[in-house]
Structure 1
Amino acid sequence: MTLQTTTPARVRLDLILGREIALLDLREEGPFAADHPLFAANLPLSRLELEAWDRIPRRDVRIVLYDAGEGLAATAAERLEALGYADVTELAGGLEGWRRAGYELFQDVNSASKAFGELVEARRHTPSTPAPEAKRLIESEPNLVVLDARRFEEYQTMSIPRGVSVPGAELVLRARELAPNPATTIIVNCAGRTRSIIGAQSLINAGLPNPVLALRNGAIGWTLAGQRLEHGRGERFPEVAPEREAEARAAARRVAYRAGVRRLDRPSLEALVQDTSRTLYRFDVRTPEEYAAGHLPGFQSAPGGQLVQETDVFAPVRGARIVLADERGVRADMSASWLAQMGWEVYVLEGGFEAGLIVGPWRPRHPQPPEAQTISPVELAAELDRNAATLIDLAPSPAHRRGHIPGAWFAVRSRLANALGVLPGGRPFVLTSPDGELARFAAADLEALSGRPPRVLAGGTDAWKTAGLPIETGLPHAASADDDVYRRPYEGTDNSKAAMQAYLDWEFGLVEQLERDGTHGFYVI
């Protein structure tokens, strides 16, 4: 197919005017984190079929693709056309074209959300406390609570002393229960800066009477101050008394009103669903456990704190409409208040949870993978024992490191051509991935490159583990660079202090970079 191009100036104009556009970076997450336009969304070519339908729900929305000269756009356009997308073009000159046009390039991931968090702090002067002072308060002040605004899994990895897991959207709902005495000081923390700032400012916006402080620079600041983090904690937020929930609900609604959030009932929502001229995202911002217990049809699980933090992941189509659902109201109102300030047309669904709910966790939508020759875990184990197959694992590199089939070669699907120059030859190829789905999509790619149809491990590495077969860890055999997943300086406990400080220095400069970029349309109430 002949792929038309779109100029950087046209993309920038669409962003300024609020027109719907999905600007997609086709590289792996590591290269994407090095430099990209503010509102670009990372949708790697290697995972395109698995993610496109959920992340870009309207098939005739304008999609602009780019890479950094790797030649990924043409293949991506063909795959998107096969998936039903009708308006796909390539950014003229790719990433370098954007740079040559004199437009800003941002680093890291979730850059728009992080830049917005910095703008909130700059405009509202969100109170914060440095790590040494926070440590002193934690050790000496009994009338204090520490609320960790990250996902529970992140909190378990590392936390500051006395921390309780209260993911971002839960803060306004739960804080009155955790700190019923108005004199109790509340410290809100995350790993870096954004969720601390947004979390603390959420409580302030909602009129909580308590002294509220963000932990300045989060767990990074705590570590750079030479202070000890804790690991494996399990304290989670409690249930909320009815009278405190009513207070939180009223406060959150006032905040949403100030931010310009609009409200819908189920019939009105159906009118938006029927409007095929606009992209519509529907997100359930409750906890994953609540979602699995019963959710509305068509709504994706997106816990509110993470939705605000990772808007580019959940909603890559800038200019789309967003509807949030939460039968208690508080989490939807607070999440919507932030999304509205970030320039989204956002609505809160009122009611609707009375009947017709679907039970079960959220499962991504994607087309049926192509048919492929398969091999069972037991059969593969026998072939590997006699060195009769070369196994290629397409799992994300962190998952591969945590546990893979012994002898498997790590590779990135979009780099299989280069991987063939590294992989041992002369043996039949077998592909695997965590559940086998990605491996089935990649089988045709490998056959076209090698001239030999590979087999796919039935059920993927998950089936191998279920069969009780051995697993090894690490990355002993790499046929591709392991930059498919960006190593975040604020996650984990073994990052270098230089990387942590560099990350903070980058965040400190985001407000000035927003001003130079000029496309954001953010405001702060």
Structure 2
Amino acid sequence: MPPTIPPATLKSWLRDGAELAILDAREEGEFSASHLFWAIPCPLSQAELRAPRLLPRRATRIVCVDGGEGGYADRLAAFLATIGCTDLHVLEGGTQGWEAAGYELFSGFNVPSKAFGEWVEHHYGTPSIDPAELAAMQAEGRDMIIVDSRPIAEFRAMSIPGAIDVPGAELAYRVPAMVPRPTTTVVVNCAGRTRSILGAESLRRAGLPNPVVALRNGTMGWELAGFTCDRGRDDRYAPGTPPDAAETLARAKRFADQAGIRWITRAAAADLLADPARTTHLFDVRDPAEYAEGHIPGAISAPGGQLVQATDGWVATRHARIILADDTGTRAAMTGGWLRQLGGWEVFCLTDAMEGRLESGHPAPAIPGLPKAATITAPDLAARLASGGATVIDCGRSLAFRAGHIPGALWGVRTRLATLAPRLPGDRMLVATAPDPALATLAAAELSAMHAGPVAVLEGGTTAWAAAGLPLHADRQNPPDAACIDAWLRPYDRNEGVEEAMRAYLAWEIDLVHAVERDGDAPFGAQGGHG
């Protein structure tokens, strides 16, 4: 068993300048209830998929945490040992012990990034308007453009009428060519606050001459003010390289250089990646479709705006190195400038990212020791279900299960499938499905350990089922909110109290600045220039 450390030791490690990764073994919904500021969600049910990417250097110092329930952190540490992690520790008492020692705990998700967004607004004085002001500007026919800084899937779900989708790092790259008149007002929105603030401030830091404002409280604020969001729209920036790419790079580079970004070649990056003494990440910050067309071998797709908005989904190690790649440099420069100020990471941008060998597609991560499993096709499963000869266990995200699942399927968290045992008939085949085939295979192995009958994996998962023309069943109440331990429920994911949850969420975001001050371990801006 790895050694336990008291909270005071971990607090001192956060401040000693050496590499440190704090991994929380609980499911994301449990994690979001209460966790350490720099803790990274690495739930046991996803550990085989997440940990290898979060920890490219296995010798880094790692502390595993849970909520004090006993066992989850130990189990995560035991798994990490199997993939070669050598400097492992467990926090004594988990989050309960941390709080008892007088240290700060945080609720919510992507907390460092969201707290950073609030810091940016305070520090740079990012201007904003409220929904009523925006509605009045629209009614007056003002010369303006509304850009939504979220990925297209979120934009489709709900958007401000008239908005155009221009995610995160694309803003400083795309918007200058979209506003030929310097008098056009640019309004940046997201669902809440963080990406609105960072998006608007990105345009200001990049020297856009236009008036730029953030929409205060985003689509949530819009709906709370009594206005209606659009659904299902696909209005997006024009693809391809903007005509002013050289000019946007020059402006973005000034911002990045002020923050302490260094520009290097692919050859120099290869040397950094080969350094066994430091954790080094290589991210491609372009749109995922551009990444799929061709990227540096080994680079991980991390669209720039999302990398800043949800850094804890990609980077676990404090004081790591981060190398950023894109085709023209603007998106890497803007992303790097913000990352440098957010976490003080050592950040490099590539000068020749698209020169040399490239690979295409979205490579699936290799999982050592993945067990073999029997498989079944969607038509064969449909026949078995029709005769009552199979039960489907869906190990995908609870919210995806609500949106559409194989009729009669049961939902469960992969590492807690034992809770489903009373509902699993012993005379039927159990069929595991999940968006990631590796996750379904891991679930099948765990089902085999608790089920005497045959167990199989659905080939192609629920996507293949739907592609075969077979029906899906949607039920927003299944699983109920309280059972969605695998996900942080956004206000509009909830079945009850949505408006109350929106107000609470926005108040929580605003208060993050004060919680961070009490915690004392977020050196926002300390490593970067302030322009």
Q: Could you say which TM-score interval applies, normalised by the shorter chain? A: over 0.9
2:144 corresponds in structure 1 to 144
Contact persistence 1:113–1:310 (CA under 8 A): yes
SS at match of 2:226: coil
Structure 1 stretch 32-41 or stretch 347-356: which is displaced more?
347-356
Structure 1 stretch 276-285 or stretch 394-403: which is displaced more?
394-403
- Quick one: distance in 1 between partners of 2:442 and 2:121? 44
Could you give the per-residue CA deviations for residues 297-326 of structure 1, whole angstroms, max 9, x where no partner exists? 121111100000010001122221100011
TM alignment of 1:161-310, pairs within 5 A: 161-238=161-238, 244-310=244-310
1:443 corresponds in structure 2 to 444
Could you give the per-residue CA deviations for residues 386-425 of structure 1, whole angstroms, max 9, x where no partner exists? 3233322111112212222221111111212222244455
2:497 paired with 1:498: no
1:29 corresponds in structure 2 to 28
- AA in 2 matched with 1:467: A
- Quick one: distance in 1 between partners of 2:148 and 2:275? 39
- AA in 2 matched with 1:352: A
Could you give the per-residue CA deviations for residues 217-238 of structure 1, whole angstroms, max 9, x where no partner exists? 1111111110111122222113
SS at match of 1:145: strand
Q: CA deviation at 1:275?
A: 0.6
Contact persistence 1:174–1:240 (CA under 8 A): no
Contact persistence 2:326–2:353 (CA under 8 A): no
- Quick one: distance in 1 between partners of 2:492 and 2:38? 22
1:509 corresponds in structure 2 to 511
Contact persistence 2:333–2:349 (CA under 8 A): yes
- Quick one: distance in 2 between partners of 1:426 and 1:475? 30
Contact persistence 1:435–1:461 (CA under 8 A): no
SS at match of 2:338: helix
Structure 2: 5+ residue runs without aligned partners? none
Q: CA deviation at 1:368?
A: 5.4
SS at match of 1:431: strand
TM alignment of 1:19-418, pairs within 5 A: 19-68=18-67, 69-238=69-238, 244-342=244-342, 343-367=344-368, 369-418=370-419
Could you give the per-residue CA deviations for residues 105-156 of structure 1, whole angstroms, max 9, x where no partner exists? 1111100000011011111111000110011112213411111111111111
Using a 3 Å threshold, how does the CA distance of structure 1 residues 325 and 387 change in structure 2: closer, same or farther? Answer: same
- Quick one: distance in 1 between partners of 2:507 and 2:11? 27
SS at match of 1:227: coil
- Quick one: distance in 2 between partners of 1:255 and 1:493? 43
Contact persistence 2:403–2:476 (CA under 8 A): no
- Quick one: distance in 2 between partners of 1:320 and 1:91? 21
Contact persistence 1:372–1:440 (CA under 8 A): yes
1:487 corresponds in structure 2 to 489
Using a 3 Å threshold, how does the CA distance of structure 1 residues 491 and 204 change in structure 2: closer, same or farther? Answer: farther
Q: CA deviation at 1:70?
A: 5.0
- Structural RMSD (CA): 2.3
- Quick one: distance in 1 between partners of 2:233 and 2:437? 33
- AA in 1 matched with 2:10: V
1:522 corresponds in structure 2 to 524
Q: CA deviation at 1:328?
A: 0.8
SS at match of 2:147: strand
1:13 corresponds in structure 2 to 12
Using a 3 Å threshold, how does the CA distance of structure 1 residues 140 and 495 change in structure 2: closer, same or farther? Answer: farther
Q: CA deviation at 1:469?
A: 2.9
Contact persistence 1:52–1:366 (CA under 8 A): no
Q: Matched residues, percent identical?
A: 47
Q: CA deviation at 1:374?
A: 3.2
SS at match of 2:483: coil
Using a 3 Å threshold, how does the CA distance of structure 1 residues 57 and 490 change in structure 2: closer, same or farther? Answer: farther
Could you give the per-residue CA deviations for residues 328-382 of structure 1, whole angstroms, max 9, x where no partner exists? 1111111100001011111111113122111223534433520123334343333
- Quick one: distance in 2 between partners of 1:421 and 1:473? 24
Q: CA deviation at 1:490?
A: 6.2
Using a 3 Å threshold, how does the CA distance of structure 1 residues 382 and 289 change in structure 2: closer, same or farther? Answer: closer
SS at match of 2:323: strand
2:409 paired with 1:419: no
Could you give the per-residue CA deviations for residues 443-477 of structure 1, whole angstroms, max 9, x where no partner exists? 33233345666333344333333433332222687
Could you give the per-residue CA deviations for residues 244-284 of structure 1, whole angstroms, max 9, x where no partner exists? 32221111010011111111112211210111111111011
- Quick one: distance in 2 between partners of 1:118 and 1:345? 22
- Quick one: distance in 1 between partners of 2:494 and 2:165? 17
- AA in 1 matched with 2:433: T
Structure 1 stretch 368-377 or stretch 239-248: which is displaced more?
239-248
SS at match of 2:132: helix
- Quick one: distance in 1 between partners of 2:38 and 2:470? 44
Contact persistence 2:173–2:242 (CA under 8 A): no
Q: How many aligned positions are there?
A: 524
Could you give the per-residue CA deviations for residues 79-121 of structure 1, whole angstroms, max 9, x where no partner exists? 2222222222211111211111111111111000000110111
Contact persistence 2:95–2:105 (CA under 8 A): no
Q: CA deviation at 1:495?
A: 6.8
Could you give the per-residue CA deviations for residues 464-504 of structure 1, whole angstroms, max 9, x where no partner exists? 33433332222687699222112112679997110000001
- Quick one: distance in 1 between partners of 2:181 and 2:267? 42
Contact persistence 1:307–1:314 (CA under 8 A): yes
- Quick one: distance in 1 between partners of 2:493 and 2:259? 31
Structure 1 stretch 485-494 or stretch 324-333: which is displaced more?
485-494
SS at match of 2:449: helix
Using a 3 Å threshold, how does the CA distance of structure 1 residues 240 and 413 change in structure 2: closer, same or farther? Answer: closer
Q: CA deviation at 1:190?
A: 0.6
- AA in 2 matched with 1:51: R
- Quick one: distance in 2 between partners of 1:114 and 1:15? 20
- Quick one: distance in 2 between partners of 1:70 and 1:416? 18
